Amino acid sequence: SLLVFFNPIKFGITFTFGNLLSLGSTAFLIGPKRQVTMMLDPARIYATAIYIASMIIALFSALYVHNKLLTLLALILEFGALIWYSLSYIPFARSMVSKIMLACFDTEF
């Protein structure tokens, strides 16, 4: 989308609030206690922490710092954390993606 490159601050705010709303909607569907329990499961505690931290960094860089490059980097981090967090709910998905990435980018010089 051209909005990402021409106005990453506006996109960052809407994308991050969209992610917060999606977390809230799943908490509404399964209950907040179960949502927090699932998010703090030992298998996904690090993915959850990175995902929430990336949302905070994106909002901070968009709303407080107003730096387009920093916001764009925070959005890339947030998108990667979102993918890794989502993969934590699919059995063996993170290990499969890790093996595929190692196979694709494993180069010896």
pLDDT in tens, 34-78: 999 999 999 899 999 999 999 999 999 999 998 888 998 999 999
- The structure tokens listed for 76 are 């890339």
pTM confidence score: 0.83
Q: Are residues 58 and 29 both part of a single domain?
A: yes
Q: Are residues 45 and 80 both part of a single domain?
A: no
Dihedral angle sign, alpha carbons of residues 14, 59, 74, 53: negative
Domain span including residue 33: 1-64
Q: Are residues 72 and 94 both part of a single domain?
A: yes
Distance CA 82, CA 93 (A): 14
Q: Are residues 100 and 52 both part of a single domain?
A: no
The pLDDT-based confidence of 3 (bands split at 50, 70, 90) is low
Q: Are residues 23 and 55 both part of a single domain?
A: yes
Distance CA 41, CA 89 (A): 11
Query: What's the number of domains the chain is made of?
Result: 2
